[in-house]
Amino acid sequence: MIPVMMRIHTEGFKESSLALEFEQKAEVFPVLQELIRQRECEFTAPIRIHLKAARIGEMVEVEGNLETTLRLTCGRCLTEFLGPLATEFAITYVRQAHGMPTEGAPAEKRVEAEDAGLIGFWGDEIDLTEGIQEQVVLCLPLRPLCREDCKGLCAACGADLNLGECDCRREHPAGPFAALRHLRLGKD
């Protein structure tokens, strides 16, 4: 169930802008709930959202920022770490079917809100859930790192190289291009 505070009533601010601040648990958002269930990340703090909405005709422009804290697993050394997650965003919502050709129009003339990079809404209420969760997912790191200079794990023994060198004799891994290391080009 989506809390009432995750919705904007467009009739409430026809002439001016609307500023909102709220916090939500990540579990409120279906996509984030699935990420938590699959243990991709853990949200250790609620998502804090500050936004300003302005109405422009039948469109509503929402600008703001969000922040939270995550527990992630490093993509190199596999240790868990806490990291901040913050982003600024701008989302445009458009009242569905306004300014768009009707059902009787030829298919090549019809434009859906999503095709134009907009999120459609019906009636006088905008549900912010989809737009907010999309912004969180977009700023998640593809390959989280506990720190930029993380050395990772030894490919031979699995030791954490951040804690010190291991006793393994490291050789260059044999891959499909390993033979090219001995290739000599040019005049001898």
How sure is the predictor about 121, in pLDDT bands with cuts at 50, 70 and 90? confident
Q: Each residue of 149-173: pLDDT tens digit?
A: 999 999 888 899 999 998 886 565 5
With beta carbons less than 8 A apart as the criterion, state whether 113 and 131 touch: no
DSSP 94-133: EETTTTS--TTS-GGG---TGGGT-EEE-TTEEE-HHHHH
Q: Looking at the predicted structure, is the pLDDT value of residue 2 above 50?
A: no
130-155 pLDDT tens trace: 899 999 999 999 999 999 999 999 98
**Residue 71 CB neighbours (<10 A):** 13
In this structure, are residues 85 and 140 in contact, taking their beta carbons and an 8 Å threshold?
yes
63-116, pLDDT tens digit by residue? 999 999 999 999 999 999 999 999 999 999 998 764 444 455 455 544 455 555
Beta bridge partners of 84: 69
The rounded distance, in Å, linking the Cα atoms of 119 and 84 is 27
Q: State the Cα angle at 10 between 27 and 46, rounded to 5°.
A: 20
Are the beta carbons of 122 and 113 closer than 8 angstroms?
no
